[in-house]
Amino acid sequence: MLPQEIIRRKRDGHKLAADEIAAFVAGLTAGTISEGQIGAFAMAVFLNGMSREEAVALTIAMRDSGDVLDWSDLPGPVTDKHSTGGVGDNVSLMLAPIVAACGAYVPMISGRGLGHTGGTLDKMDAIPGYASQPDVALFRKTVLETGCAIIGQTANLAPADRRLYAIRDVTGTVESIPLITASILSKKLAAGLGSLVLDVKVGNGAFMEKSRDAVALANSLVEVANGAGLNAFALVTGMNEPLASAAGNAVEVKNAVDFLTGRFRDKRLEEVTLALAAEMLQSAGLVSSQQDGLRRATEALAGGRAAAVFARMVAVLGGPVDFIEKPEDYLPAAPVELAVKAEQAGFVTGIATRDIGLAVVTLGGGRSRPDDKIDHAVGLTRLLPVGAELRSGEALALVHARTDAEAEAAAAAVRAAYTIGSSKPPAEKAVLRRILPR
């Protein structure tokens, strides 16, 4: 099949057959289709959309462009979660060990930061010695021995997605819901999962700022996943403020350890983490209801079993064996700390969350270009949540930076991102909606 004919049919609004889509993805993977043709195809999809059947065919073809892992030898169900990204979203670090402590296996293949959002893989790289991109043998050993492993995508998992995404990124087609869906799900299907829970963020710190867009994406992900044979559910969760009180890499790891050990837990972060854990346990068939899943997850967290799983995972993947007991001895720390002082008294009535994420990027904790090197030590902590009351001169947050000048610039950005009013705003729910297969 000529790629230009496939492009023309999609350009003209026709529904593509599964074999046409498979042929195009095969050419994309083999390098026989040019970047111009891939860009034209992506734009045709962006403008005309795809049916559920087309999106399923695209997802399966991209899954089959590389290796597909097989976990059939494990003595329990295999499940995972994917988040569409936010600020202070370190949920994966607690969620994987909580669910593993309840009897599931979680081979969590995560990504790096994108734009203003942090990446789970960048956070794990803050732990000295931790092999965030192990070979398949070590990956399998870690999952078998500890119940979970948080790692990066291997070279042979859904390679078609890497080429297509790189071209979407420079052709203005990133926001296409069918292409987002296929990109996310092809990697998850290649990971050999039995079930999946999607965390679709909505708000001023999410890629989907409007509720209707987030719900459309969540429905697409759930429908296409189930159409491709993967049992999937989704939660739509709020991102109108940072989820954790920390934003950065090492600082979010420390926040996660504090959460697991019970030293400190952000309220909204706990609500989202436990809700996702309950969904994962139910989708994996380990519990019969959300309520039972929530109880099991809460017990695994409160009893210390989740913290023990995290500690074992870090050690098996090359990190310090006593990391969870004294993370501050191992995590990199920035030399400059600066409190961001509020200029008036009142209540926090709003946070420009995307600007908080961009402040971390500017400090060096994120990337402006794909090849930028991450500074794992920098970031923000003690971020006040919406609804917090404060006096003039009290701290809105604490900046961790390399230089005084960078700290001052970040402090100014954080101060500008906070809105202070005279009355306390109504609390927003952290978990907004549950999306089930139709």
Contact between 414 and 399 (Cβ < 8 Å): yes
Marked catalytic residue, from 120, 181, 220, 245: 120
φ and ψ at residue 404, rounded to 5 degrees: -60, -40
Q: Secondary structure of 371-420 in the HEC alphabet? A: CCCCCCCCEEECCCCCCCEECCCCEEEEEEECCHHHHHHHHHHHHHHEEE
CA triple 334-337-338, angle to 5 deg: 150
Q: Which of 10, 162, 188, 376 does the annotation list as catalytic?
A: 188
Q: Which of 64, 80, 199, 375 is catalytic?
A: 80
81 noted as active-site residue: yes
Is residue 249 exposed (0-12), middle (13-18) or buried (19+ Cβ within 10 Å)? buried
CA 372 to chain centre: 20
For every residue of 122-150, DSSP letters joined together read HHHTTSTT--SS--HHHHHHHHHHHSEEE
DSSP state of 320: -
Q: Which residue is catalytic, options 10, 82, 162, 296?
A: 82
Catalytic residue among 29, 65, 79, 83: 83
* The two three-digit tokens of residue 134, written as one number: 């192990």
Give the C-alpha separation, 244 to 257, whole Å.
12
Please pick, among 183, 237, 245, 273, the residue that the annotation labels catalytic. Answer: 183
Q: Is 187 considered catalytic here?
A: yes
Count CB-CB contacts under 10 A for residue 349.
16
Among 112, 187, 265, 354, the one annotated catalytic: 187
Q: Which of 29, 59, 64, 81 is catalytic?
A: 81
- DSSP secondary structure code for residue 302 in this structure: H
Tell me if residue 82 is catalytic: yes
**CB–CB of 251/359 below 8 Å?**
no
Active site residue 83: yes
Active site residue 120: yes
Listed as own residue / partner, the contacts of 177-180 with beta carbons closer than 8 Å and 24 or more positions apart are 177/49, 177/216, 177/217, 177/220, 178/45, 178/49, 178/50, 178/54, 178/55, 178/58, 178/220, 179/42, 179/45, 179/46, 180/217, 180/220
Measuring CA to CA, which residue among 340, 366, 346, 336 is closest to residue 354? 366
| Lookup result for tokens 């309520």 | 291
The residues assigned a catalytic role are 80-83, 120, 168, 183, 187-188
